[in-house]
Amino acid sequence: MHINNGWLTLAERILSPNIDDRPEGTAIDLLVIHNISLPPNQFGGGHIAELFTNCLNPAADDYFAEICGLKVSAHLLIDRLGAITQFAPFTQRAWHAGVSQFSGRERCNDFSIGIELEGLEHHPFEGAQYERLRQLIWSIQAAYPTVGDVVGHSDIAPGRKEDPGRAFRWEFFD
């Protein structure tokens, strides 16, 4: 996997409007792993991309009516089959972390890359997702040598977030 001007060359690109510039001079040094399924407990259907591009139809599902006004994104999504979609170049800030803190620094969106795995906290992730995530981590760290820590959303927003959850196998990366 190669990264060119902040874009992963093999990923499908769908640009999210929910991004902006990182603070000047801010090094990217953190990867944040998330999970998402839309509607909850369902996979596939393209609804994650709709959410990240502000195109979610509130009439399509009761849950969509609750969340359609959210302005969120991530840099990357790895679906259940291991396919990757990129919604923001790594050089820009995606809106994935919310209120967050890591090692005494707040606003983790400023200095992190957010990777969503299609999945649930309590449901096993697929081997293809772990393999793609491993490849992504290597590629990102090669392109951005300042990236060292890989954490879950729960690590930067404890008590507020649980993802990637108890089903995520951190030992896969040891």
pLDDT digits (tens, 9 = 90+) for 54-64: 999 999 999 99
Q: What is the pLDDT along the chain (174 residues), one digit of tens a residue?
A: 899 999 999 999 999 999 999 999 999 999 999 999 999 999 999 999 999 999 999 999 999 999 999 999 999 999 999 999 999 999 999 999 999 999 999 999 999 999 999 999 999 999 999 999 999 999 999 999 999 999 999 999 999 999 999 999 999 876
Domain hosting residue 100, numbered range: 3-173
**58 is written with which tokens?**
């509130």
Active site residue 106: no
Phi, psi of 124 (to 5 degrees): -55, 140
CATH number for position 41: 3.40.80.10
What's the pLDDT score for residue 95?
98
pTM summary value:
0.97
- Which residue type does 93 have? R
Choice among 116, 118, 121, 162 that is catalytic: 116
Across-strand partners of 19? 94
* pLDDT (0 to 100) of residue 172: 84
Q: What are the tokens at 23? A: 């603070």
Write the CA distances from 103 to 11, 12, 17, 77, 107, integer angstroms: 31, 33, 29, 25, 11
The Cα–Cα gap between 160 and 98 comes to: 10
Residue 77 has a CB neighbour count (10 Å cut-off) of 24
Q: What pLDDT was estimated at residue 1?
A: 85
Beta strands in the chain (DSSP E): 3-4, 7-8, 12-13, 19-21, 30-36, 76-78, 84-86, 92-94, 101-102, 105-106, 112-118, 149-152
The pLDDT score that the predictor gives to residue 173 is 76
> How many structural domains are present in the chain?
1
